[in-house]
Amino acid sequence: MSASNENKKAVWSVIARIPSGRVATYGQIATLADIPGQARFVGYLLARLPQGSTLPWHRVVNSSGKITNPNAAAQAVRLQAESVSCDANRVSLKQYRWQIPAESLSTT
């Protein structure tokens, strides 16, 4: 078992938790996946995400709310379908940023 595999599952789990109509940044996901500062890893995983995946990858944007994705057009469409306004491949993090659930931070 590779540690990276565990981190991968953690990242996928976090992304799967992003509510519809909300967006999260790579860094935010990395932090929630218990791997703060490894936003690069999150982007790497999404880039290699299998086509059969049901993960809401479209809810992931960079720290500026900008859609940095090989298929930004499709992403923008998916977001708009969830009532998330995106202008020039950009979303308002002020409005749509996913608030970190306290339960995730709680020490169970």
Partner DNA sequence: TCCATGACACTAG
Partner DNA sequence: CCTAGTGCCATGG
Q: What string of DSSP letters covers 26-65?
A: HHHHHHHTT-TT-HHHHHHHHHT--TT----GGGEE-TTS
Q: Binding segment for DNA among 67-75, 76-84, 97-105 (CB under 7 A)? A: 67-75
For residue 24, the surrounding DSSP H or E stretch is strand 24-25
Looking at beta carbons only, is 39 or 84 nearer to DNA? 39
Which lies closer to DNA via its Cβ, residue 49 or residue 100? Answer: 49
Q: How far is the CB of 57 from DNA (least distance, A)?
A: 4
Does 80 participate in binding DNA (rule CB under 7 A)? no
4 part of the interface to DNA, by CB under 7 A: yes
Q: How many CB atoms lie within 10 A of CB 10?
A: 16
Binders of DNA in range 11-50 (CB under 7 A):
25-27, 35, 37-44, 46-47, 49
Query: How many angstroms separate the Cα of 72 from the Cα of each of 9, 58, 59, 88, 106?
Result: 24, 9, 12, 10, 35
Applying CB under 7 A, the residues found at the interface with DNA are 3-4, 7, 25-27, 35, 37-44, 46-47, 49, 57-58, 60, 62-64, 68-70, 75
